[in-house]
Amino acid sequence: MSVAIETPARVVRIALLGNPNTGKSTLFNRLTGLRQHIANYPGITVEKKVGDMELGGRKVELVDLPGTYSLAAASPDERVVMDALGGRAGHEPPDLIVCVVDATNIKRNLLLVSEAAELEIPMVVALNQWDAAQRNGLRIDTGLLADRLGVPVVTTVAKRGDGMDELKKAIQHTLGEPRFIPRILWPDFVDEARDIVLNGLEQLGVEATRPEALRMIFDTDSAFADRAGHKEQVPGILRAARARITANGMNPASVEPVLHYRHLEALLDGVVSGDGMVARTRDSIDALLLHRVWGTLIFFGVMSVVFQSLYAWAGPVMDLIEAATAWVQGLISPLFEGMPMVQSLVSDGIIAGVGGVVVFLPQILLLFFFIALLEDTGYLARAAFLMDKLFGWCGLNGKSFVPLLSGYACAIPGVMAARTLEDPKARITTILMTPFMSCSARLPVYVLLIGAFVEPLHGPIVAGWTLFAMHFVGAAVAMPLAWIMNRCILKLKAQPFILEMPDYRVPALRNVVIRMWERGREFLIRAGTIILAFSVIIWALLYFPRPAAVADQAREAFIAAHASEPGLAAALEDPESELSLKLDHRIQGAYIEQSYLGQFGKFAQPVFDPAGFDWKITVGVLSSFPAREVIIATLGIIYNLGADVDEGSDDLRSILARETWHDGPRAGQPVYTLPVVFALMVFFALCMQCGATVAVVARELNWSWAIGSFVAMTAIAWVAAVLIYQIGSRL
């Protein structure tokens, strides 16, 4: 038996190109299965999906390019499709393009294909959603279409997997025997305009391809012209080129689509016949779902199910994960008996950290289950249509609703859900505003403080309204902030909000599951590792330096204070006795005070003094930067109640109410006055005290955005807390 040793041939690359809503990603999932991974294109926020496919016993690489209606590029994000096809800016050019064309809307879909033909790369056309075209009564002569295009045309139904073998065969055949779609024949004035640009750029020493030169002319705000630099000369060159087009009676902004559509009209003559039935079905469903009253009610119904699932249904699973974390801690801890530092690192740092990552998974999976469902049925576009007006004024758009709503349960899935926004400017703004929404981890803080201070003074009704109002503090700050960001900070060009209302379709379960799996894995690998690192760092700051003398002093002080109690020595012998527990809590409190974070809290207290926070609150605030809900446990430890208190604890509430300033100008006065309580709650409402959110924002955008928004939110929270305390205590 001989073993054939193949020389490692160059990887064959295939790109998937197509409009949004053509089933392109479904086709990608069909061809690659789970052998895919997601990365970001360098420098921009567009995600790059790459997968492997078997082709005639050989592995080829498949790239799913972002869905787009045209190669026009006003931003670096949009430039990526053309760069990927042209092998520019560090991309490897594909050996073949699979053009995914929606069979129910061939002409519009072919515009992009016709534009891409300029690049002279072999192509295969997949006429997808063939079943829908047939159902709609469209008759398409695929043989004639293939003749006219000069490349293989394969009919597919990616959702069901129909036509995949034929598509693979056509790809393999075309790789061996390249076939091209002929370029459009431009009128002379376009060729002249293009030569003006190419010659002008050559004199400046700028390298540009012929298709890029065309894009610079056709796209009013061209990202290719931006890249060419020479901001003094290039606009003049483009003006001269566009003047050539205007002189021939055409609008440079629309000349390209006009000529392409004219070309396609001739090309499709006799290819498609029959009238689409789909418009009527779509129309009657839209009449209900986009109805002023019923449509709005259904929208709120659908969204409340999504929200309820994140807020309530995910709860039991999250509790289970937390219980499992505790169980594993209990199981592992004894293995490190006698090594308290290692024991604490493994138990409180690593296992708690892993648990703190996995605990987000139920919400992420649930949200992406719903998003896949809403997107694939076509409802997400309708939801965006209904809500757009509410968000448009501050630079967000209708698609911001789902991420922001999810943010009320948890910012992590919310930030990830912003992937559904195509417009980079609106997407960045949505991501940065989502952490302002009042997530469920803020609730314990509100419940503790309102229960301890508002309810006893003003009764349960005022307390209830206060809790309700606290949920809108973040949103009330976020929306004007989004407006300011859009005007002054984000230098990206505004994109029009153009939304295609796709036909209603039954979603494919396989696709939904792949989407959930892909997002969950993404989160665990990319964000999870960072969250775990945060967890270990904070553990170290709370654990070290831990001199033994601290425990001894706390013990002596405790014994001295309880010397009068009978049977003290015996009680302390018994680790289960009440006094022993109290002593343990006292020692924990002493350790946290002596830890690096405790020392830093005392050191940093003057920073928070204008907001009325004493050093204990400051340590609580600082320790909850990795996860805001931690403040309850930290306060429990600081006030010598141990870490097991919850927001309903009467002990904690009464201790807070009794707490007074020990020294300074306010000595003897209570620490927790109403202005302090509200300053603290508003601080929690506005501050990004969540390491996981920072990590996910960094993953979705980049580290500068993540750190920038962290700093900005902390600053805003501090200013708001100081204002509330200063004004409140003078009233």
Partner 1 sequence: MNKTLGEIGHDQAVEIVAISSHCGRAGRLAALGFLPGCRVRVSRVAPLGDPISIEMAGQEISVRRAEADLIEVKEVA
Rule CB under 8 A: which residues touch partner 1? 69-70, 72, 74, 104-105, 107-108, 111, 218-221, 251-254, 256-258, 261, 275-276, 278-279, 282-283, 286, 290, 292, 295-296, 381, 385-386, 388-390, 392, 398, 493, 495-501
Residue 385 vs 453, nearer CB to partner 1: 385
Q: How far is the CB of 264 from partner 1 (least distance, A)?
A: 10
Q: How far is the CB of 483 from partner 1 (least distance, A)?
A: 16
Residue from 128, 96, 127 nearest 268 by CA: 127
**Contact (Cβ atoms closer than 8 angstroms) between residue 113 and residue 184:** no
- Token pair recorded at residue 328: 């594993």
Beta strands in 45-132 (DSSP E): 47-55, 58-64, 96-102, 123-128
Q: How far is the CB of 584 from partner 1 (least distance, A)?
A: 59
Residue 385 vs 684, nearer CB to partner 1: 385
> Which of helix, strand or coil describes residue 433?
helix
What distance in Å separates the CA atoms of residue 43 and residue 701, rounded to the nearest whole number? 9
Q: How far is the CB of 253 from partner 1 (least distance, A)?
A: 4
What distance in Å separates the CA atoms of residue 16 and residue 66, rounded to the nearest whole number? 9
Q: How far is the CB of 69 from partner 1 (least distance, A)?
A: 5
What distance in Å separates the CA atoms of residue 142 and residue 519, rounded to the nearest whole number? 37
Q: How far is the CB of 222 from partner 1 (least distance, A)?
A: 8
Q: How far is the CB of 280 from partner 1 (least distance, A)?
A: 10
CB atoms within 10 A of CB 551: 18
Q: How far is the CB of 383 from partner 1 (least distance, A)?
A: 11
β-sheet with 36-40: strand ranges across: 36-40, 47-55, 58-64, 12-18, 96-102, 123-128, 153-155
Residue 69 vs 544, nearer CB to partner 1: 69
Residue 220 vs 660, nearer CB to partner 1: 220
Q: How far is the CB of 20 from partner 1 (least distance, A)?
A: 11
Burial label, 326 (beta-carbon count in 10 A; 0-12, 13-18, 19+): middle
- Token pair recorded at residue 99: 């053009």
Residue 375 vs 455, nearer CB to partner 1: 375
What distance in Å separates the CA atoms of residue 673 and residue 2, rounded to the nearest whole number? 85
Q: How far is the CB of 258 from partner 1 (least distance, A)?
A: 6
**Contact (Cβ atoms closer than 8 angstroms) between residue 125 and residue 154:** yes
What distance in Å separates the CA atoms of residue 622 and residue 617, rounded to the nearest whole number? 9
Strand partners for 162:
157
Residue 30 vs 260, nearer CB to partner 1: 260
Amino acid letter for position 41: Y
Strand partners for 97:
15, 123
First to last CA, the chain: 93
Residue 407 vs 502, nearer CB to partner 1: 502
Residue 21 vs 32, nearer CB to partner 1: 21
Residue 78 vs 614, nearer CB to partner 1: 78
Residue 265 vs 573, nearer CB to partner 1: 265
R_g (Cα) of the chain, nearest Å: 31
Residue 69 vs 369, nearer CB to partner 1: 69
CB atoms within 10 A of CB 428: 24
What distance in Å separates the CA atoms of residue 693 and residue 696, rounded to the nearest whole number? 5
Query: If you count them, how many residues does the chain have?
Result: 731
Burial label, 96 (beta-carbon count in 10 A; 0-12, 13-18, 19+): buried
Residues contacting 170, CB < 8 A, separation 6+: 124, 152, 154
Q: How far is the CB of 104 from partner 1 (least distance, A)?
A: 8
DSSP state of 437: S
Amino acid letter for position 98: V
Residue 231 vs 292, nearer CB to partner 1: 292
Q: How far is the CB of 68 from partner 1 (least distance, A)?
A: 9
Residue 3 vs 498, nearer CB to partner 1: 498
Q: How far is the CB of 251 from partner 1 (least distance, A)?
A: 6
Burial code (b: 16+ CB inside 10 Å, e: under 16) for 598-635 equals beebeebbeebbebbbbbbbbbbbbbbbbbbbbbbbbb
**Contact (Cβ atoms closer than 8 angstroms) between residue 501 and residue 282:** yes
Residue 38 vs 499, nearer CB to partner 1: 499
**Contact (Cβ atoms closer than 8 angstroms) between residue 67 and residue 49:** no
Q: How far is the CB of 729 from partner 1 (least distance, A)?
A: 41
Residue 383 vs 467, nearer CB to partner 1: 383
Residue 295 vs 620, nearer CB to partner 1: 295
Residue from 190, 384, 171, 196 nearest 295 by CA: 384
What distance in Å separates the CA atoms of residue 96 and residue 385, rounded to the nearest whole number? 36
Q: How far is the CB of 257 from partner 1 (least distance, A)?
A: 4
What distance in Å separates the CA atoms of residue 392 and residue 400, rounded to the nearest whole number? 10
Q: How far is the CB of 290 from partner 1 (least distance, A)?
A: 5
Residues contacting 670, CB < 8 A, separation 6+: 657, 658, 659, 660, 661
